[in-house]
Structure 1
Amino acid sequence: MAKPKIAVVFYSTYGTNHRIAKTAAEAAEAAGAQVRLRRIAETAPSEVVNGQENWKRQLAAMQDIPEVSHDDMIWANGYFFSTPTRYGVPASQMRAFIDTLGGPWSEGKLADKVATAATSAQNVHGGQETTLWSLYVTFMHWGAILVPPGYTHEALYETGGNPYGFSTEAGKLDDAGRKSIAHQAERLVKYAARLPY
């Protein structure tokens, strides 16, 4: 049986979702998947990015990670998305990429694949759940099969018990969080391996 192919696709402004994505990619690979770690292109004006030292530093730190392409999306049979929330929905950079996927979607090339998501926000009531729901609505339009973590591991209770996907406050990623992300990625790989491709 071929290894599941997992695309870990993330956008990160200050580093939290970069760390989430790296943790997910490492766990998926350890669970037996082929993994492509891919970042979303920065669409904010350069003067805005360069005007904030932490944002500028984070963008520079990710230059070795390829930007996600349509080929990556078609190649994968499972998706792990991670993005910060912006006003209760995914960051505009993430949405901008998703909005380019009309071609592959209309050809059925995003359908019948497993998908899950993670997020971060400035505070615990900063739109984390609605950001995940928004991504899941998109995945349903693709015809993807949702693989949320639910309450299937004790680590979920240690990180606040979000059954939709890992979420955290910006800048916070502890051992319990990493366990929760790893479980979510392993669960994604497990169900990707069960589907006929």
Structure 2
Amino acid sequence: MSESVKTAVIYYSSTGNIHRLAEAAVEGAEKAGSEVRLRRIRENAPQAAIASNEAWAAHAAATADIPVAELDDLDWADVVIFGAPTRYGNIPSQLQQFIDTTNPLWLQGKLADKVYTAFTSTQTAHGGQESTLLSLYTTLYHWGGIVVAPGYTDPIQFQTGNPYGTSHIAVSEPSEVTLDGLRYQARRAVEIAGALKAGRAA
């Protein structure tokens, strides 16, 4: 059922945590049988700011070959998985700038009826994860999207403790439990999109 589902994993990462989570989302979607595009959000921070942070500069260089997200990726996908860190309880400006370019697709109704899900991370627990996702989901509701949260629908969610897909990371690398949670979240989104496509075709 899910082999015809196309998934775009669109993320912004400065130092690499979100990038690793995005890779886990790709793994989960592919395991569910989906064709997947991994796309990074274009960086808009000043080069001086990037260069002043060794981890940020290193990650930017290491991922320069990953294609930048374009509107075509949203148009192409049946499932869109967004990932971004928290910035003061909200999404970073880089992702917001991309979202602000989507009006042409929205006007044509091309963002509606797709399955969307999202994840985030913070340096510490309770660092604004839920408010970040809720602010992003508000946009997806305006698009007419079908927001699919992982909820407590799989045993892995009782281990992560993050029913909305929030991935709060207090260490430099995400844990394997967190990565498994992202793999499950992506798989669930693909499976639901597959069921929706099958129902529409019936």
Same fold at TM > 0.5: yes
* 3-state SS in 1 of match to 2:86: strand
For residue 159 of structure 2, what is the amino acid of its counterpart?
E
Is the 1:166–1:181 contact (alpha carbons within 8 Å) kept by the matching residues of 2? no
Identity among equivalent positions (%) equals 48
Asked whether 1:162 is paired with 2:162, we answer: yes
Map of 1:117 onto structure 2: 118
* Aligned residue in 2 for 1:69: 70
The alpha carbon displacement at 1:155 in A equals 1.3
Partner residue in 1 for 2:177: 176
- The runs of 5 or more residues in structure 1 that have no matched partner are none
Report SS of the residue matched to 2:26.
Answer: helix
Q: Secondary structure at the match of 2:45?
A: coil
Report the more deviating stretch, 150-159 or 108-117. 150-159
Deviation at 1:27, TM superposition (A): 1.2
In 1, Cα distance between equivalents of 2:7 and 2:137? 17
**Mapped partners of 2:81, 2:58: distance in 1:** 24
Query: What residue number does 1:147 align with?
Result: 148
Higher deviation after alignment, 162-171 or 172-181: 162-171
- CA–CA distance in 2 between the matches of 1:163 and 1:53? 33
Letter in 1 for 2:169: E
Name the structure 2 match of 1:7. 8
d(CA) in 1 for partners of 2:179, 2:165: 13
Would the aligned equivalents of 2:10 and 2:39 in 1 still touch at CA under 8 Å? yes
Q: Report the Cα distance in structure 2 between the residues aligned to 1:82 and 1:155, rounded to whole angstroms.
A: 19
Q: Aligned partners of 1:106 and 1:39: how far apart in 2?
A: 24
1:14-56 Cα distance to aligned partner (Å, 9 max, x none): 1000000001001101110010000000000111111111110
Cα drift, residue 87 of structure 1: 0.2
Whole-angstrom CA distance in 2 between matches of 1:99 and 1:105: 11
Report the equivalent of 1:49: 50
* Cα distance between partner residues in 1 of 2:142 and 2:174: 31
Q: 1:38 aligns to what?
A: 39
Q: Which residue of 2 aligns with 1:89?
A: 90
Q: Write out per-residue CA displacement over residues 59-94 of structure 1, whole angstroms, 9 at most, x where no aligned residue.
A: 111112100000001000111111000000011111
Question: How far apart, CA to CA, are the structure 1 residues paired with 2:4 and 2:27?
Answer: 15
Aligned-pair RMSD on alpha carbons? 1.2
SS in 2 for 1:162: coil
- Stretches (4+) displaced over 3 A: none
**TM-score (ref. length: structure 1):** 0.96
The gaps in structure 2 that reach 5 residues or longer are none
Q: What's the secondary structure of 1:57's corresponding residue?
A: helix
Q: Secondary structure of 1:118's match? A: strand
**In 2, are the aligned partners of 1:89 and 1:127 still within 8 Å (CA)?**
yes
Letter in 1 for 2:4: K
Kindly provide the amino acid, as one letter, of the partner of residue 140 in structure 1: Y
Q: Do residues 27 (structure 1) and 45 (structure 2) align?
A: no
Partners of 1:74 and 1:110 within 8 A in 2: yes
1:111 partner SS: coil
Q: Which amino acid is 2:123 matched to?
A: Q
Deviation for aligned residue 1:195: 1.9
